[in-house]
Amino acid sequence: MSGREQIGEKVPFEVAMDKTGFGLYNLLLTSLAGLVIISFGCIVYGSTIIVPSSACELETTPTQQGLLASAPIIGKSSGQYTISMTMLSESVPMAKRNLVVLLVTSIFLLAQGIMAVLAIPIIPLSFSYEMPVLGIYWNSWRTLMLVYCAPSLLCACWLFFMQESPKYALAKGDEAETLRILNVIYKLNNRKSSEEYQVKGIVAEGSSEKASTKDQVVPLFKVPLLKYTIIMTTLSVFHQITAFGIWLPTIANQYVRLLETGEGADLTICGIINTELEIVPDPDATPCALNVTSLLIVLVVGVMQSCFNLIISALVDRVGRRNTAMAITAFCGTCGILVNLVPGALASLLLFGLYLMAMMVLGLYTAISVALFPTHLRALAVSLTMTGGRVFSFASIQILNYLLINNCEVGFYVYASILVSSAIVASFLPDDRLLRKRLLQQQQQKQIENPVHEEASDKS
């Protein structure tokens, strides 16, 4: 094959990715990403169930419980979520990219509910075995911690058998490795087809030289990416709905315990939280164990979030990711403001559940960042823009813990108002529908120009 023919056969990466199709490999990678997100959820939200369940043995105060519950938030900038989502989005054809990212986001939203299901048969167990060497008693909540570690170990083994992101390999300048990865994806996606993968070359994207950390960070704070860095970081900082997610099992437990007394039907969420309960302890119950019904509420909220996200997934391509994020934050933030203005425990709980639906915009923010930043800066950009939100979340959880105890209504008004403000901030982002249309036009233009260049070379 001549050099001219090789140049003529080169296609843009997105065209090469589309030619691999959508099949078994993509389903395996989507499932793996979902499991990674579940293991991520076990790390982030495990403390929401472990902390209150261990309070009696450890004799922790509300302030100490807040610190223990928020500590895993700092570890979220470690990349487990952002890298898995970036890898997934770069290994799937463009037509299915939004779908798989939002499907994995649905799994993330369901993760806390899955954890609640795992806790239901374990937490109420009353066994306690002394371990003198460690100076502790092995009991139900310590057992649950081991269960929450299992998904991470399984992910580590599964990742060993998967391929690197082909776009990452191309960004490093390794075209041969990129083609090898795409061939593997093609063969698994088209197992019943006897045809070979048709792409023989890929158009290079940007510089293939290995960039230093400084070379990767500096462009994020210079025009034209500076605007996007500021906006996405601000959106991450404003996404403090996680703080309410951290305290959801505790709030649900207080809600159920009060209603079981036959009182509190006319109270709002804050009224229920601030009610001092004097309940005769059950001698057969495990001290500090969360009420099973409250864990089921956590599951229901997770299912609602996941189903709502699936509905949004069907509309996002038509509406656009930016516009969808704006609509969700405006609607859910308004529900959060109304939580303590609408009387009745059931109505207040429903509005609280709708307020928590805003957790799904995290997946939209990730998808938006993936589209805005170039490949060689993408993983760092997504991690960096989310770092501000994660660091602020540590303080945010402490602040919310204090407000729920001392001035609950203010906590809802402030945090819900910040969420509504996210819609205004997101409005300064470009409409991704236009970006996608422009990208498709550029690819079509390249496909038209390549044969022209080849013909000109032949004539010369």
pLDDT tops 90 at residue 31? yes
- Report residue 27: phi and psi, to 5°: -70, -40
How far is 217 from 144, CA to CA, in rounded Å? 40
Q: What is the arithmetic mean of pLDDT over 346-362? A: 90
d(CA 37, CA 73): 14
Query: Which comes out higher in pLDDT, residue 101 or 115?
Result: 115
Of 43-57, 130-144, 149-163, minimum mean pLDDT range: 43-57
Provide the token pair at 304: 């609602």
The pLDDT value recorded for residue 456 is: 43
Residue 220 DSSP class: G
Whole-structure pTM value: 0.75
Which of 168-177, 287-296, 439-448 is predicted with the least confidence, judged by mean pLDDT?
439-448
Mean pLDDT of 108-136: 87
The pLDDT of residue 427 is 93
Q: Do the domain assignments include residue 69?
A: yes
Compute the average pLDDT of residues 220-235. 92
The token pair at 37 is: 């997100």
Mean of pLDDT over the chain: 83
pLDDT band at 78 (very low <50, low <70, confident <90, very high): low
Judge whether 460 lies within some domain: no
- What stretches of 90-171 show up as alpha helix (H) in DSSP? 94-119, 140-159, 166-171
Domain at 58, CATH number: 1.20.1250.20
What is the rounded distance in angstroms from the CA atom of residue 366 to the CA atom of residue 361? 9
How far is residue 388 from each of residues 329, 381, 396, measured CA to CA in Å?
19, 12, 12
The answer to whether position 88 is within a domain reads yes
Q: Supply the DSSP symbol for 149.
A: H
Length of the chain (residues): 460
The span from the CA of 318 to the CA of 322, in Å, is 11
d(CA 18, CA 67) in angstroms, rounded, equals 47
459 inside domain: no
Q: Residue 455: is its pLDDT beyond 50?
A: no
Assess if residue 155 is contained within a domain.
Answer: yes
- Tell which residue, 241, 258, 426, has the closest CA to residue 336: 241
Is residue 8 pLDDT above 80, yes or no?
Answer: no
Opening angle at CA 227, ends 417 and 212, nearest 5: 120
Residue 412, in any domain of the structure: yes
Task: Determine which of 32-36, 115-119, 152-156, 288-292 has the lowest per-residue pLDDT on average.
Answer: 288-292
- Distances in Å between the alpha carbon of 63 and those of 68, 205, 251, 403? 9, 51, 16, 12
Which residues span the domain enclosing 271? 3-203+215-278+287-452
Count of structural domains within the chain? 1
In whole angstroms, what is the distance from residue 85 CA to residue 457 CA?
A: 42
pLDDT of residue 162: 92
Q: How confident is the model at residue 2 (pLDDT cuts 50, 70, 90)?
A: very low
Give me the pLDDT at residue 386, please.
80
For residue 458, tell me if it sits in a domain. Answer: no
Would the pLDDT of 188 be above 60? yes
Does 400 reside within a domain?
yes
Structure tokens that stand for 119 in this block: 């806790």
pLDDT above 80: residue 278: no
pLDDT class of 52 with cuts at 50, 70, 90? confident
Contact by Cβ (8 Å): 419, 245: no
